[in-house]
Amino acid sequence: MKLDLELQRDFIAEVFCINKDKPEMSCHGQCFINKELQKESDKQQETSETMHKEVVLDMPVQQDFCLHEENIFVEYTTSVFANTERMKPLNDVGQLLRPPIV
């Protein structure tokens, strides 16, 4: 941007110079160039601050926990084979499995 402003110094001095009515200052558009460079600098600083703010992440922290042996209680109240009467084999398998009648 600075190079662009320097290349157009004559045009800037004629059109945009704030101190045109004060020729003793011999500004030649430098007032406008400084003003534009300050705007650009402020914009870049604002952009970098915004980018810095976007990088900050708020992550929840997981608390550690400990599992001790004394806290584990397993109680066996029923046996695996407690209900064996429901597991009896069927004597009448012939009633269930019959060949098709032709």
44 domain residue, yes or no: yes
Q: What is the pLDDT of residues 14-25, one digit of tens each?
A: 777 777 777 777
- Residue 94 pLDDT greater than 70, yes or no: no
Decide: residue 28, CB within 10 A, 0-12 exposed, 13-18 middle, 19+ buried.
middle
CB 4 within 8 A of CB 40: no
Residue-range definition of the domain harbouring residue 34: 2-54
76 domain residue, yes or no: no
Q: What is the pLDDT of residues 24-72, one digit of tens each?
A: 777 777 888 888 888 888 888 777 666 555 655 666 666 655 555 555 5
Quote the pLDDT of residue 17. Answer: 77
19 domain residue, yes or no: yes
38 domain residue, yes or no: yes
pLDDT confidence tier of residue 81, bands split at 50, 70 and 90: low
Q: DSSP of 52-76, one letter per residue? A: HHHH----PPPPP----GGG-----
